[in-house]
Structure 1
Amino acid sequence: MFILLSVAIAPGLALFSFFYLRNQMATEPRRTLLHTFIYGAILTFPILFLQYVFKEEQIFSNPLIQDILFTGVVEEFFKWFILMIAIYHHVEFDDPYDGVLYGVAISLGFATVENILYLLSYGVHTAFLRALMPVSSHALFGVVMGYYLGKSKFSKKEKVNEYISIALFAPILLHIIYNLIFVLEDHWSYLMIPFMLFLWWFGLRKVKLAHNHLIQHLYAQKKI
């Protein structure tokens, strides 16, 4: 059991460390990040319950609607919603790169608990693919969400609502595309590999832009 938990948790910790250490200009309070991670972990259970109820009650006539659309929309909406009500106005959300860290934290909290439950059900032999795809994709969805939340908080007022909306709908769109590829029975890997490469490129580009915005923000405040 200890080995299984370690294997399930390791990808999330590694990915979070990667994004955390890329922020060389400021250090975000670890306690707030831990709280955000816990929010994401707790979210796993109501979301899985909601998905189970909808599946059992056969709310959607076509099961692919639930697997592709419903799952992506619900997961990303609740992560966005928690960030908006618990983190967005927090005093420690004080620079543009913070959005990336909080987005990654809540996404990896969700992905880590989901990963533990999955490995408990299907075994450790699935851990490698889980780390490469579901866990890392959740982290990158979080990067995109957090980047635009950071943009909205530190942009001109007329851009705030636009960026907040993009922070919700961009991860939803990426998640839906991911789900659509994943449910394809034939040769799905030929589409998933380029999509994951694109997702990493896109996410790392947002990380770089967020870091540049952080430098500009600190310069404007005459902290550097």
Structure 2
Amino acid sequence: MIEIISAGIAPGLALLSYFYLRDQYESEPVYLVLRSFIFGALLVFPIMFIQYVLEVEKVFTSEFLYTFIAVGFLEEFFKWFVLFFTIYQHVQFNEHYDGIVYGVAVSLGFATLENIIYLFANGVEYALGRAILPVSSHALFGVIMGYYLGKGKFSIIKNRTKWIVLSCSIPILLHTVYDSILLNYFNWKYIMVPFMLFLWWFALHKAKKARIKIFDSRLP
């Protein structure tokens, strides 16, 4: 039991620590990051219940619609909802990169509890594969979500709606592509590897841009 919990938690904490420590100028309060992580974890059970009902009731006859709405939209929208209504207006969200820290925290809270449940059901031998794919992809979706939410908060008023919409819609789209690759392709590994490389590049590029904006704003 301890082995499964440790294997389930470790990748999420490692990724959260990585992005947290990249905040070079003003680290976010640990309690607020932990609160975001817990809020993300609390989303797992209602989302799993809704997904179970949708699957059992066969609401979607199209596999793409199920992937898009029941997985991509449902998971990313509720993570975005938590991020927007608990962090966006918070006084501690005072720099562009902060959105990334909190976006990653919410996403990894969700991914970590989901990972522990999966490992309990299927075995600890899946821990490495889960760390490389589902856990890391959730973290990267969180980076992208937080980046665009930061753009929304620190842009001029007329552009804010655009960035806030993108902070939700781009992660939904990327999550849908990710799950579509897993579900619809027999040789999914040959497509997933370049997709994950792109996802890492895209997310790290956005994180770097957010840090540069902080540096520029601090120049005299």
Q: TM-score range by the shorter chain?
A: over 0.9
Q: Give the aligned length.
A: 220
Determine the structure 2 residue equivalent to 1:158. 158
- Measure the CA separation in 1 of the matches of 2:100 and 2:185: 33
Q: Give the secondary-structure state (helix, strand or coil) at the position aligned to 1:23.
A: coil
What do residues 154-212 of structure 1 show as CA deviations (whole Å, max 9, x unaligned)?
Answer: 11111110100000101011001101101124110000000000000000001100101
Determine the structure 1 residue equivalent to 2:41. 41
Structure 1 segments (4+ residues) deviating >4 Å: none
Determine the structure 1 residue equivalent to 2:179. 179
The offset of 1:21, in angstroms, is 1.2
Quote the RMSD (CA, aligned, Å): 1.1
What do residues 17-63 of structure 1 show as CA deviations (whole Å, max 9, x unaligned)?
Answer: 11111111111111110100000000111111110111111111234
The answer (yes or no) to whether the contact 2:4–2:120 under 8 Å persists in 1 is yes
The answer (yes or no) to whether the contact 1:96–1:217 under 8 Å persists in 2 is no
Letter in 1 for 2:109: G
The question of 1:128 aligning with 2:133 is answered: no
The offset of 1:84, in angstroms, is 1.1
- Measure the CA separation in 2 of the matches of 1:122 and 1:163: 39
The answer (yes or no) to whether the contact 2:104–2:146 under 8 Å persists in 1 is yes
Q: Give the secondary-structure state (helix, strand or coil) at the position aligned to 2:43.
A: helix
The answer (yes or no) to whether the contact 1:97–1:211 under 8 Å persists in 2 is yes
Determine the structure 2 residue equivalent to 1:119. 119
Give the TM-score of the pair, scaled to structure 1.
0.95
The offset of 1:85, in angstroms, is 0.9
Instruction: State, as a whole percentage, how many aligned pairs show the same letter.
Output: 51
Determine the structure 2 residue equivalent to 1:217. 217
Letter in 2 for 1:101: V
- Measure the CA separation in 1 of the matches of 2:19 and 2:185: 33
Q: Give the secondary-structure state (helix, strand or coil) at the position aligned to 1:183.
A: helix
The answer (yes or no) to whether the contact 2:21–2:27 under 8 Å persists in 1 is no
- Measure the CA separation in 1 of the matches of 2:215 and 2:54: 46
Give the TM-score of the pair, scaled to structure 2.
0.97
